[in-house]
Amino acid sequence: MLRGYPRNCSRSIRAIEQRLAALEGPSVRLRFVPELTAGRGRLYSGRAFGHPVHAGSFIRKREIVLDRELERQPKELARILVHELFHFAWVRLGNQRRRSFEALLREEWERGARGELGWSAEWRKRAILKRAIDAAGAGNPEDSGSLAGSAAWREYLCESFCDTGAWIYSGVRRHPEYTLAARHRDRRAEWFRGAFQARRILI
């Protein structure tokens, strides 16, 4: 499934592939570069521009670019790489299951759930929450329904799906970024089991 990675992390990659037996689709090329940053919708390597990132995906090219530092961090490599692979899964998920996952997150929102299963989703969630609080303070309260059409909400859904996939499939059971309460984690795990009953996750 994965190709193009350096030999020094082949053991880590093989272990990831074994845990990802449920994923199915054409191969994805991995490319490791130094000092990876992102800015204005693009990735850069070794340039003092943008903000540091661990990875980025190019769905149409079927390529994932990762920061070279991850070669020496097997657990973090697993968590980040699985997250990126689930970006491919999100694209092929289908509208029905995307709406089902959105309904799950809307329910979390209505219950006041805090935290997430990765920083990528959490900072977006915080930004949406701040927007809702600011709107309420201005006398224009927003709920998840009114936010659903926004680009920020759609990005949050995708990142939350990918972070949840990484939590389930990466093999990394504990991490400082796993801040979502156990009851909500359990419901997400149940959703993944129901959504992928045949164990096939198309990417």
The reported pLDDT for the residue numbered 142 is: 54
Pair 78, 168: CB distance under 8 Å: no
H or E segment to which residue 153 belongs: helix 151-169
Distance CA 41, CA 45 (A): 14
Q: Can you tell me whether residue 23 is helix, strand or coil?
A: strand
H or E segment to which residue 68 belongs: none
In 3D space, the residue among 173, 172, 168, 176 whose CA is nearest the CA of residue 194 turns out to be 168
The reported pLDDT for the residue numbered 77 is: 97
Q: Can you tell me whether residue 94 is helix, strand or coil?
A: coil
Express each pLDDT in 62-91 by its tens digit: 999 999 999 999 999 999 999 999 999 999
CATH 3.30.2010 boundaries in the chain: 2-91
At 113, the pLDDT band (50, 70, 90 cuts) reads very high
Total residues belonging to the chain: 203
Q: CA angle 88-90-93, nearest 5°?
A: 115
Write out the two tokens for 184: 């909500």
Question: Is the pLDDT assigned to residue 137 strictly greater than 90?
Answer: no
pTM above 0.75, yes or no: yes
CATH 3.30.2010 for domain 2-91, yes or no, is: yes
The reported pLDDT for the residue numbered 138 is: 61
Express each pLDDT in 14-53 by its tens digit: 999 998 888 999 999 999 999 999 998 899 999 888 899 9
